[in-house]
Amino acid sequence: MNRNVLISGASIAGPALAYWLGRHGFQPTVVELAPALRQGGHAVGFRGETHLTVLERMGLLPELRRVQTGGTPMRFVDERGRTRLDLPAEFAGGEIEVLRGDLARVLYEHSAPYTEYVFGDSIVSLTETSSSVRADFRSGISRDFDLVIGADGLHSNVRRLTFGPEEDYVSHLGYYAATWQLRNDLGAGRGSIGYNVPGRLASVGTDHRDPARAGAFFVFAAPELSYDRHDLEQQKRLIDNAFSGLSWEVPRLLDSLHQAPDLYFDSISRADVDTWSTGRVCLVGDAACGATIGGMGTGTAVVAAYVLAGELARAQGDHLAAFARYESRLRKYAEGCQAGGDRTGKFLAPATATGIRLRNTLLSRRLLLNGMLKLGEKVSSTVALPSYPAASAGDWHGLH
C-alpha cells in the first residue's frame, strides 16, 4: 500500500508532510543533514484563507499565534538616518508571522510522535525497483522505502539524485541575500531599518523576544557567483566586498558579521521542474517550485504537504495517480505564488538611484500599498482545498 515513506528535509515541507502522512496512517521517516533542528532564521508569514485553513486543520493556529512576532514593519532611511519609506508590518509578514525556527519546531513536535527522524545524515544514492526505492545514506546504511519525497528546498538533494543537476532547474535572479545575528548595539527599534544604495540593501532589526539581540539582513546584486556553500569565511568575504566603503551603519554591521558564528547566505533564485514526480519519487515545496525570498514559499509548502499526503491516502496505493493529482491541483497555484520572488531583489535593492526613489514614492501612497496587500492575499488563496478524511489523533498510535 506504499505506506513506508522517506522524506528528505526537516525544515518546513518535510515535517508538515510527515504530520499529514501520520494522520493518514503512513509510516514517515525524515532524514536531515543538519545535526539537529535549525534554530532562529528569518521571519516567515502566512496570509489569506488557504494558508490559514491548512494551519487550522493541523490544529497549529493557537500555538503559532503564541509565538508570532507581531509583524515586522520596514523603514528605509538615507545615509543620515532620515526616513524615506515606511511599510506596515503586514506588508511582509501577512496575517501571522513567526520565526522560521519556531515554525520548524512546532511542526517537528506535532509530527515527531509518529515519525522517525534521522539527523546528521543524508541520501547519497537512490535506486528504484518495481516495488520500492533503495536509499543509500552517507552513514553507510541502506534501507528500502515504498516512496521517496524531496522536501529539501531549492538546492534539493533528492532532485539532483533523481531528476538531474541543479543547474538544469534553478535559475539565478541576479541577487544574493544574507542574514546573521548580532548584539543590538545600534538601538534598532521594532521592525527593521534599511539603507539602500543602487543594487544593495543593508538592514537591521530587533529580535522581537530579546531586545538585546538584533538580526542583520543584507541583499546585493551580482551575477552568479562560484563559492563553497559550506565555507562560512568565504561567504563573509563576498558580503564584505559587496558592502565595503558604504556609510550609515554599514561598517558596524560588517564588524558584527566577522564575529557571527552562524550565517545564512544564498542566491535569490527560483526552481522550475517540468514534472514534479518520476516513478516512486516526488518533490514538494521549494524543491519543486520555489523561490528563495518573496515567493510565499513557506505557505505554499504547508499547503502542498497537505494535498500530497491527502492524495496519497485517497489513491490507496496508486502512487502514480496520487502524484499526478497532487501536481494537477497545485502547479498553477504554486507558480502564481512563486512569481513574487522574481521581483524581490529588485524591490529590496533597486539597481539605480532613480529606481530607489520611485519605489519609495510609489509605496508611500496608501492606496497603492493597500492594493498590493490585497493582491498578495488573493494570489495565496487561489486554490480550492479538498477535504481528505484522516485518522483521528486517538487512532495514530495504532497506525504505526
Instruction: Note the pLDDT of residue 135.
Output: 98
Q: Tell if the pTM clears 0.75, that is, is over it.
A: yes
Per residue in 132-166, pLDDT (tens digit) is 999 999 999 999 999 999 999 999 999 999 999 99
pLDDT > 50? residue 393: no
Q: What would the mean pLDDT of 263-272 be, rounded to a whole number?
A: 93
| Average per-residue pLDDT for the chain | 89
Name the band, by pLDDT with cuts 50, 70 and 90, for residue 273: very high
Predicted confidence band of residue 375 (pLDDT cuts 50, 70, 90):
low
Taking only the tens place, the pLDDT of each residue in 168-185 is 999 999 999 999 989 887
* 26-30, 186-190, 387-391: least confident range: 186-190
Query: Which residue in 309, 306, 303 sits closest to 336, CA to CA?
Result: 303
As a whole number of angstroms, the distance between CA 303 and CA 191 comes to 28
pLDDT class of 378 with cuts at 50, 70, 90? low
Residue 341 pLDDT class (50, 70, 90 cuts): confident
**pLDDT > 90? residue 1:** no
